[in-house]
Amino acid sequence: MSAHSIFSPSASHRILNCPPSLMLCSGAADQPSPYAAEGTCAHELCAYLVEKALGRDVKDPTEDLDYYSAEMQSCAEGYASFVMEEYEKARETCPDARVFIEQRVDISRWVPGCGGTADCIILSDGVLEIIDYKNGTGIPVSATSEEYGGNTQLMCYCLGALEMFDGIYDIDSVKMVIYQPRRDNISTYAMSKEDLLAWADGVLAPTARLALEGKGEFRAGDHCRFCRVKATCRKRAEYNLEAAKYDFKMPAELEDYEVDSILMMADRLTSWANDVKEYALAEALKGKEYEHFKIVEGRSNRKYTSEEDVAKTVEAAGYDPWERKIRGVTAMTSMLGKKKFEELLGGLTYKPRGKPALVPRTDKRPEMKNTAEEDFKE
């Protein structure tokens, strides 16, 4: 297998944290997901709308997009407007600024055979900007990372773009932007070209070399979430089981600080246990036998064999089988699109207070004050 097919910028954060995961994952099958397919459609639409806004001759892909929806259209329009605003800003200082969409970039100077596709590159004298569209509704993706400053996927794209364009444009810094509309998340990070190249030479290249040789230290952490072997990885199991070995102390009841440490590991342990359960179910369905577990049918509710026949029968008996309900906010937004929804219904919606939840202090939401319990009762 060529290096090209296994080291991808999108997996770079995991590989830099756990180099041997690269070769381990290369032998494990990737699970196709409807979210990934939806993301591909959204990217196609985004690319089309930006190219169109730039006045380029492009074919409208909408009718071929399997997951097309009004929400996708509205998110892609938002992205296209954002790109155009960034482009206009760049043109204020550099009239020759240029936009490249879905641009292949190559970083084999640091990682043999490695390349990727940058959603959008805006080039101007001084700054190289990469804008990455994320379609996910899960965790907000950050343009920064604790260990390396920037998001490593975007840092890789910046390196590839520098390889192509540095020299044509006089670049001294790079700007990375994550645009994730379904989480209302726009995250930005800038760094100097010098720092980026120092990271590429001092961290990316040597770690990638180790990874491609199947060497380096296994290291478990949050990055395991995107690893193909996360359910069966021994290092991750050891890491989680070690965390679970709680050293209970006297007196009989836990102190507050002990409860605090258990909470710290609870989410991680739950997520790991769910990965293992999901994996084991898939294996059991393929025929694997586990000593203490078996497959049973889950609970199910009665269903109609034919809604049409049910309606006819109930009507014939003199009753109305139908109920008419207003669409919920999500379904209505999806029908109208975000913009129209706000225009028509912005003043007719409100946000009830959410149920109190205990979350890590690193969570970005503001803290509910001491009166949280009373507030909630009210």
Binding site for ligand SF4 (CB under 6 A): 14, 18, 21, 24, 218, 220, 223-224, 227, 229-230, 233, 235-236
- Give the residue with the Cβ less far from ligand SF4, 175 or 223: 223
d(CA 272, CA 220): 11
191, two tokens: 């760094």
Tell me the closest approach of the beta carbon of residue 232 to ligand SF4, in angstroms: 8
Alpha-carbon torsion angle 24, 265, 276, 32, nearest 10: -60
What are the backbone dihedrals phi and psi of residue 128, each rounded to the nearest 5 degrees, phi first?
-110, 125
- Give the residue with the Cβ less far from ligand SF4, 147 or 297: 147
9, two tokens: 């910028």
Query: Which secondary structure element, helix H or strand E, spans residue 314, and what is its range?
Result: helix 307-316
Tell me the closest approach of the beta carbon of residue 240 to ligand SF4, in angstroms: 10
Tell me the closest approach of the beta carbon of residue 23 to ligand SF4, in angstroms: 10
- Give the residue with the Cβ less far from ligand SF4, 133 or 239: 239
- Give the residue with the Cβ less far from ligand SF4, 28 or 311: 28
Neighbours of 53 (CB within 10 A): 15
Tell me the closest approach of the beta carbon of residue 107 to ligand SF4, in angstroms: 21
- Give the residue with the Cβ less far from ligand SF4, 229 or 368: 229
Q: Give the DSSP per-residue string, 103-118.
A: EEEE-TTTSTT-EEEE
- Give the residue with the Cβ less far from ligand SF4, 274 or 349: 274
- Give the residue with the Cβ less far from ligand SF4, 261 or 271: 271
Tell me the closest approach of the beta carbon of residue 140 to ligand SF4, in angstroms: 21
Q: Give the DSSP per-residue string, 209-232.
A: HHHHTT-S----SGGGGG-TTTTT
Q: Give the DSSP per-residue string, 261-294.
A: HHHHHHHHHHHHHHHHHHHHHHHHHTT--BTTB-
Distance, C-alpha 309 to centroid of its chain: 44
Tell me the closest approach of the beta carbon of residue 361 to ligand SF4, in angstroms: 25
Tell me the closest approach of the beta carbon of residue 233 to ligand SF4, in angstroms: 3
